[in-house]
Structure 1
């Protein structure tokens, strides 16, 4: 992957390009806006060869609420300059740059409509994220990473018409940071009514994963998928035991449960069966008197 620094033309690379703003506090000249930076890149020969676009920091000091709409509008308007675009990732920065809960996202309906050839879409951040009715014939992978995924987004995804989708990954988060979905909101996915091509299902970073495990263990979708990812959540023995005793779970090719609160005994049980699994990252619950607190991996 190549970074485009706005100062020179890149030789044709034929692979994803990462675009991001860097702020130089010592610079005397005004820093370019995202629009100026993006338009300068569009004026090069690179967009015509770009198959994947990774969007990092799109502001200098602090983002305005509408900044992301300008970013998405620019991507939509550039569709004729990006004829080979197959993959898009918006929000590529780590917590050192910006906490995931601080990321202001936008409406992706126009992006999906503008790029019917898009195969992979990844989004980091859930605040203000929206899709509306989702319909796309070519999308194979959808990843939404948040510390709290709003229920309307969960419902929109669960109701989506995505016949080619093979990989679905939702970071559900907790209610303190906007993750207000329940197992009921995921039922259209678990029932197998949607996504006839689905192979990999990730319902990650989930605060209600014990309850989710009970629904997943007997869900019809297990007859279709090969990989189930319930990692990054606060899974305890209660949820793990339900998964462990499920015959449908044991038919999977891989089960990812890393970052969990299983006891030593429950964790070690997974090594006694043929199912390949990841049960690394054992956490210890915090206790305060009779109260026990188990935390998901990503929230703020």
Structure 2
């Protein structure tokens, strides 16, 4: 799986592109504004750091629009994202100009622009501190990604898309105080791309659930899907969920059997098992055993000479 095009919707809103030197285009209803900038003439540098033309372009853009009207923002390329750090510091610097920002997607970058596991992020803790009204935060890419334990009163949805999510980020999230968090999604990925989180790292979530409002949980794209399924079978957090997403991983019949043999799942509204390694017979059995649940078993894979693989890695 790759990202062949940029996102069309974000935070329940259609995405509309922002252009330098142009006012906000007329729209009907709420939208998510998208901005990307990459100066082809600016030389690529081997050293990592902020991409200066992007910072200048963002300032120019904000000078030309009504920033108080921006409630949802999607940020695409900030230069070649394998060579340029995510503009976290710049976003914090301009936070006073975006007082109503409620939803932020940092890294809406398609595969032709930069592979997901090459996207250079940063410590994103300052974003949560700079934007107290933020309700939705989605981050793509995990190179150098960090999150320190913090508190945010309003955050309701937190998603990390990666081919390999560092365990430190998982621990940072689970050590945070997010009293309003309803939707948490980790694309855990593979060890070869930095995905070193273990079931032990997830235990504070599975057994204690630090987020009282949590109802939708995704532990996706994981090469340890078997162990996660076994841990979920008896995890107290499952009883509080309405949606459980284990898609894009390497779950096989044995792992799914362990999940089904545990606590009841009939209270769920949705169970997402897309892109795993279930046999047709077992996929049909899961659907039959959970008649009141929307069970998605589409796009099952077959193990090849290369073994099993997650949907997203590089």
TM-score of the pair, normalised by structure 1: 0.91
Q: 1:10 Cα deviation (Å)?
A: 2.1
- Decide whether the 8 Å contact of 1:41 with 1:47 is kept in 2: no
In the alignment, is the contact (CA less than 8 A) between 2:38 and 2:54 conserved in 1?
A: no
Corresponding residue of 1:161: 177
Alignment partner, residue 187 of structure 1: 203
Instruction: For 1:143 and 1:15, locate their aligned partners in 2 and report how far apart those are by CA, in whole Å.
Output: 20
Out of 223, 226, 235, which is 1:219 matched to? 235
Pick aligned residue for 1:265 from 272, 281, 292: 281
- Measured in 2, the distance between the counterparts of 1:32 and 1:195 equals 38
Give 1:86's match in structure 2, choosing from 82, 96, 102. Answer: 102
Counterpart position of 1:116: 132
Q: How many Å apart are 1:12 and its aligned residue?
A: 5.9
Counterpart pick for 1:278 among 296, 303, 307 = 296
Q: How does 1:94-113 map to 2 (within 5 A)?
A: 94-113=110-129
Contact 1:217 1:249 in 2 (8 A): no
From the superposition, tell whether residues 121 and 183 of structure 1 become closer, same or farther in structure 2 (CA, over 3 Å): same
2:214 and 2:81 map into 1 onto residues whose CA distance is: 38
Measured in 1, the distance between the counterparts of 2:52 and 2:190 equals: 36
Alpha carbons 1:101, 1:146 under 8 Å: kept: yes
Instruction: Work out whether residues 165 and 195 of structure 1, in 8 Å CA contact, stay in contact via their aligned partners in 2.
Output: yes
Rounded Cα–Cα distance in structure 2 between residues aligned with 1:219 and 1:32 = 47
- What is the aligned counterpart of 1:178 among 159, 174, 194? 194
Mapped to 2, the partners of 1:109 and 1:93 lie a distance apart of 21
Aligned CA distance change for structure 1 residues 63 and 184 (closer, same or farther; 3 Å): closer
Query: Which of 224-233 and 269-278 deviates more?
Result: 269-278
User: In structure 1, what is the Cα distance between the partners aligned to 2:55 and 2:294?
Assistant: 47
Partner of 2:266: 250
Matched residue, 1:51 = 71
What corresponds to 2:309 in structure 1? 295
Q: CA shift at 1:227, angstroms?
A: 0.3
1:133 offset after TM fit, Å? Answer: 1.4
CA contact (8 A) 1:218 1:248 kept: no
TM-aligned CA distance change 1:63 to 1:244, over 3 Å: closer
> 248-257 or 100-109, which moves further after superposition?
248-257
Structure-1 separation of matches of 2:145 and 2:170: 11
Displacement after TM superposition at 1:155 (Å): 0.8
Task: Output the CA distance in 2 between the equivalents of 1:97 and 1:238.
Answer: 38
Partner residue in 2 for 1:37: 57
> Any conservation in 1 of the 2:81–2:119 contact (CA below 8 Å)?
no
Check the 8 A contact 1:12/1:49 in 2, yes or no.
no
Which of 10, 16, 20 is the matching residue for 2:24?
A: 10
Structure 1 vs Structure 2 CA RMSD: 1.8
More displaced 10-residue stretch of structure 1: 80-89 or 279-288: 279-288
Deviation at 1:251, TM superposition (A): 2.2
Equivalence map 1:134-145=2 (5 Å): 134-145=150-161
Shift, 1:63, TM fit: 4.8
The alpha carbon displacement at 1:24 in A equals 5.2
Is residue 120–residue 145 contact of structure 2 (8 Å, CA) maintained in 1? Answer: yes
Counterpart of 2:257 in structure 1 is: 241
Name the counterpart of 2:10: none
State the alpha-carbon separation in 2 of the partners of residues 39 and 63 from structure 1.
23
